[in-house]
């Protein structure tokens, strides 16, 4: 059946090789199947839980719950609408930036590296600005910057293009921090359940894939009509539309507007900057989330930089219609986002779902690493591996968003999300430079290792890992707490022995019960009175340890 559909489509794309048409038709069919399975089974499980909750509610509470759900659907639809316009504009310029610079005859690698380095330099500071200035205001600044940047792309002057790439590093950081920070905070501000956040992240992942597919088609049409600069003109128009839509949003900040109102703006930025870094470095969960997602996205951007030359070197006659392959890969991302709620419900937790996602991506990157170094003709396996990598990326986006909203504090969303982009940009720069120094198989091996390290770190945050390896740590913490309590008790009795007159003068009523309680604690008269409290504390700790050791013995025998 798929072969018949490919035969019907081939007259419309006479210059495309048959394998590319087969790939596109297969991916479209798989997407329809994924959407059907998700609609049929994914919502059914959530519907059962909602029905159980509704049965326990009264008539008034049911009406309020339905009204809350309607408000959430409206909120989600409006945010996803703005997100779709923003991402469509971003994809349109991203897919044709290389060909535009190629037509200008400028140093392309220098321009790309400038953008990534700019993002790495400004990332640690922009988050504090987003939280203090306001998330809505930051989104407005992003839209204005994108209009200016895409206008600069009309110039062939290298210095102007370089300055545009510096601004591009700033705008990219705002794109991936300000919008998400605003949505997460506004979601909680409206009083929506925390569990509903995964619906927004899944919808955003699907929207990202759909807009990427649409961007390839629309940008190609604009390029045919207006030349290489056509997609950038379309991006300016879309960004203006997004700016108008963002103006209707309510503002929210990293903290209440009234807090620190007496301090200067510079002081507030410094405090927010220090607090963001302090929270990131002192909280192991936040630090892990930042490292994990930087490794995942760094591997993703390195892969994006490599897939075109890799397929060109392996394809028959080097005939690769990049538009068709790009659309197929974006369909794979859409599939990943659409089936994420089902995967999440099957695995039971976001941490476990993210672990499986990174491990799948590592296996997929292992395929080109082995094929390119050990085998000759491996075009089909590598192409399938690339499709599966994009599918895992589609799973990664909603999982990463949920984990960020779960572990990153609301009032530090902008600051910490931009701190995450510092190692990300450094990894992207590293991956890009590796492609100039080493063979593709070696670079794919490095990308595979990045995904594998991300999977291992993510697994350490799962309940499965904690239940297996954190039991002894909990017992040691309990022992230390008990020892501290035991050591504190003798110290109090020693202080009363040294100054009995003062204690009786100040608190005569309290001194008597303290002696009674002390006598109750040590009822045996065989204990020599000359022993120091330190020795008694040691004896009590030994007894406490022996009782705990004896209490553990049945567990060991049972195990």
Least confident of 141-150, 396-405, 499-508: 499-508
**CA dist list (Å): 57 to 68, 83, 191:** 14, 35, 18
Share of the chain above pLDDT 70, in %: 72
Q: If we measure between CA atoms, which residue out of 446, 472, 398, 351 comes closest to residue 196?
A: 398
SS3 of 152-211: the string is HCCCCCHHHHHHHHHHHHHHHHHHCCHHHHHHHHHHHHCCCCHHHHHHHHHHHHHHHHHH
- 381 compared with 515, residue with greater pLDDT: 381
Distances in Å between the Cα of 236 and the Cα atoms of 143, 164, 232 are: 9, 14, 6
- Mean pLDDT over each residue of the chain, to the nearest integer: 77
The answer to whether 306 touches 366, Cβ cutoff 8 Å, is no
DSSP state of 460: T
Residue 450 has pLDDT above 90, yes or no: yes
pLDDT at 34: 85
Distance between CA atoms of residues 410 and 131, nearest Å: 9
Cβ-count burial of 556 within 10 angstroms (0-12 exposed, 13-18 middle, 19+ buried)?
exposed
Pair 432, 305: CB distance under 8 Å: yes
Nearest CA to 128 out of 415, 331, 410 is that of: 415
Q: Tell how many helices (H) and how many strands (E) occur in the chain.
A: 22, 0
Instruction: Single out the residue of 354, 351, 423 nearest to residue 392, CA to CA.
Output: 354
Q: Give the count of beta carbons closer than 10 Å to the beta carbon of residue 12.
A: 8
Sign of the dihedral through C-alpha 466, 471, 473, 477: positive
pLDDT at 14: 57
Is pLDDT of 89 > 70? yes
Rounded alpha-carbon distances, angstroms, from residue 223 to 104, 210, 211, 233, 326: 15, 20, 17, 10, 16
The SS3 assignment for 22 reads: helix
The residue with tokens 């971003």 is: 90
pLDDT at 556: 38
Counting every residue written for the chain, the total comes to: 559
- Is the pLDDT at 379 greater than 80? The verdict is yes
Question: Where does residue 528 rank: exposed (0-12), middle (13-18), buried (19+ CB within 10 A)?
Answer: exposed
242-256 pLDDT, tens digit per residue, is: 999 999 999 988 754
Asked if residues 86 and 182 have their Cβ atoms less than 8 Å apart, the reply is no
Supply the pTM of this predicted model: 0.65
Question: What gap in Å lies between CA 82 and CA 73, rounded to an integer?
Answer: 14
Q: Report residue 194 as tokens.
A: 């925390």
pLDDT (mean) for 48-68:
70
Highest average pLDDT, of 36-40, 415-419, 460-464, comes from 460-464
Whether pLDDT at 522 is above 70: no
Interval 519-537 mean pLDDT: 42
| 459 — pLDDT class (breaks 50, 70, 90) | very high
More confident residue, 232 or 218: 232
User: How much is the average pLDDT of 185-196?
Assistant: 90
Report whether pLDDT(424) > 90: no
- pLDDT of 8 reads 62
Q: What share of the chain is helix, strand, coil (3-state, %, to 5)?
A: 85, 0, 15
More confident site: 328 or 277:
328
């Amino acid at each position: 059946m798929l072969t018949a559909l490919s035969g019907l489509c081939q007259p419309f794309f006479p210059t495309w090789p048959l394998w590319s048409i087969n790939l596109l038709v297969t991916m479209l069919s798989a997407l329809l199947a994924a959407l059907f399975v998700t609609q049929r089974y994914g919502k059914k499980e959530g519907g059962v839980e909602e029905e159980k909750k509704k049965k326990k509610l009264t008539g008034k509470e049911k009406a309020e719950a339905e009204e809350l759900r309607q408000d959430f659907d409206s909120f989600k639809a409006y945010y996803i609408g703005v997100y779709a316009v923003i991402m469509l504009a971003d994809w349109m310029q991203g897919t044709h930036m290389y060909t535009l610079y190629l037509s200008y005859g400028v140093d392309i690698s220098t321009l790309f590296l400038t953008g990534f380095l700019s993002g790495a330099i400004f990332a640690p500071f922009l988050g504090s600005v987003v939280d203090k200035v306001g998330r809505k205001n930051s989104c407005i600044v992003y839209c204005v910057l994108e209009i200016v940047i895409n206008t600069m792309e009309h110039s062939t002057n290298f210095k102007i293009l370089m300055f545009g790439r510096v601004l591009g590093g700033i705008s990219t950081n705002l794109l991936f921090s300000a919008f998400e920070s605003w949505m997460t905070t506004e979601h909680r501000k409206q009083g929506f359940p925390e569990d509903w956040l995964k619906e927004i992240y899944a919808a955003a992942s699907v929207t990202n894939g759909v807009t990427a597919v649409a961007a390839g088609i629309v940008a190609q049409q604009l390029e045919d009509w207006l030349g290489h600069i056509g997609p950038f003109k379309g991006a300016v128009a879309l960004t203006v539309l997004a700016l108008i839509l963002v103006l209707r949003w309510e503002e929210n900040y990293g903290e209440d507007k009234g807090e620190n109102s007496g301090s200067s703006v510079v002081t507030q930025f410094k405090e927010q900057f220090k607090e963001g870094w302090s929270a990131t470095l002192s909280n192991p969960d936040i630090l892990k989330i930042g490292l994990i997602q930087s490794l995942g996205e760094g591997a993703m951007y390195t892969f994006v930089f490599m897939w075109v030359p890799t397929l060109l070197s392996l394809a028959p006659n080097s005939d690769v219609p990049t538009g068709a392959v790009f659309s197929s890969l974006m369909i794979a991302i859409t599939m990943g986002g659409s089936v994420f709620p089902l995967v999440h419900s099957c695995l039971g937790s976001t941490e476990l779902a993210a672990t499986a996602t990174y491990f799948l991506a590592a296996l997929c990157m292992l395929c080109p690493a082995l094929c390119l170094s050990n085998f000759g003709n491996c075009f089909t396996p590598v192409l399938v591996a690339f499709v599966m990598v994009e599918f895992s990326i589609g799973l990664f986006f909603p999982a990463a968003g949920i984990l960020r909203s779960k572990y990153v504090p609301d009032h530090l969303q902008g600051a910490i999300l931009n701190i995450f982009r510092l190692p990300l940009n450094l990894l992207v720069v590293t991956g890009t430079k590796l492609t100039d120094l080493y063979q593709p198989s070696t670079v794919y091996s490095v990308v595979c290792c990045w995904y594998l390290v991300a999977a291992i770190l993510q697994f350490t945050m799962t309940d499965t890992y904690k239940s297996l390896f954190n039991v002894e740590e909990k017992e040691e913490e309990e022992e230390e707490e008990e020892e501290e309590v035991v050591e504190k008790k003798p110290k109090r009795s020693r202080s009363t022995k040294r100054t009995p007159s003062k204690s009786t003068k100040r608190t005569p009523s309290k001194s008597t019960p303290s002696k009674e309680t002390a006598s109750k604690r040590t009822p045996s008269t065989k204990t020599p009175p000359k022993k120091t409290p330190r020795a008694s504390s040691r004896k009590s700790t030994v007894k406490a340890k022996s009782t705990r050791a004896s209490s553990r013995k049945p567990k060991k025998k049972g195990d």
